[in-house]
Homo-oligomer: A and B are copies of this chain.
Amino acid sequence: MTTDTRERQAIRRSSNVPAYNQLAEILEQQIAALTDEERTRALPSEGDLSRQYGLSRITVRQALKTLEAKGLVYSAQGRGSFPTMPRVKGISGFHSFTSEVRRNGQEPSTRILATTEVDGLPKSVTEKLSVTEDENSPQVHLRRLRLIDGVPIAVEDAWLPKALFPDLAPADFNDGSLYALLADRWGLEPAWTDALIEPDRASPEVSKLLNIETDDPVLVAWRVTVTAEDKVFERVRSIYRPGFSLRVARYRLG
């Protein structure tokens, strides 16, 4: 008496989530659970998936394209579609700090150092991140200390445009992931980031916060994050302590 313990997940046609996104999510979960050995084998063919889930081939291809854009699979004509190999581990400075660190099995924490409202961006920011649009528009400025397992990792200055987040109050920053809050309340999510990364020496102020020596080598990242519709989500300057590695995974070339 053998029963297939893998209950095949079905596509809910009545859902407002598109079928190809549902399929992409199912496949993403399955792929994430694969071992290195299993990753060398092809995924089910487009025809198989089409039959199994009752979708047209165009919808199946759309799901695979989604995963390909994320760098999770690749397709080879005549052979099939295959999972890709993960190449680096570590914490990315670009995604949500909270969830990234947690996924890594470590405990993130954040200490808010200051929250103010300002009428424009500092010159240092506009110089690094060629700002043309909302240079002089009101911003919420947020200074945070990021810690992993209690160890200070980075000093972060973030500027969020008030135009995009009406009624954003300093009190909102107190707990949890800022990204999660912004997604909940304004339905906005970061989709792309542009960054400049450079080496520097720790200033006396920063070295005290990070508990390192003045003039220790630090990594400075300037970045601007935009939504899928290319609206500026936030601008951030992060200063990372020595010994910390910034992960840039699955960066598309060409």
Contacts and interface: CB of A to CB of B under 8 A. Distances in A.
A129 B194 contact: no
A248 interface: yes
A236 interface: no
A207 to B, nearest CB: 13
A192 interface: yes
Interface in A114-152: 128-130, 132-133
A89 interface: yes
B230 A84 contact: yes
Interface residues of A, number: 59
Contacts of A244: 198-199
A186 to B, nearest CB: 16
Interface in A193-212: 193-201
Oligomer: number of copies: 2
A129 B196 contact: no
Contact of A199 (B199, B229, B251): B199
A86 B130 CA distance: 8
Nearest to A132: B36
A31 interface: no
A251 B194 contact: yes
A109 to B, nearest CB: 22
A138 B252 CA distance: 27
A226 interface: yes
Nearest to A223: B248
A250 interface: yes
Interface stretch (A70-78, A161-169, A170-178): A70-78
A190 B86 CA distance: 16
12 contacts: A74-B228, A87-B194, A88-B195, A88-B196, A90-B196, A95-B253, A189-B254, A195-B249, A195-B251, A197-B197, A217-B217, A250-B252
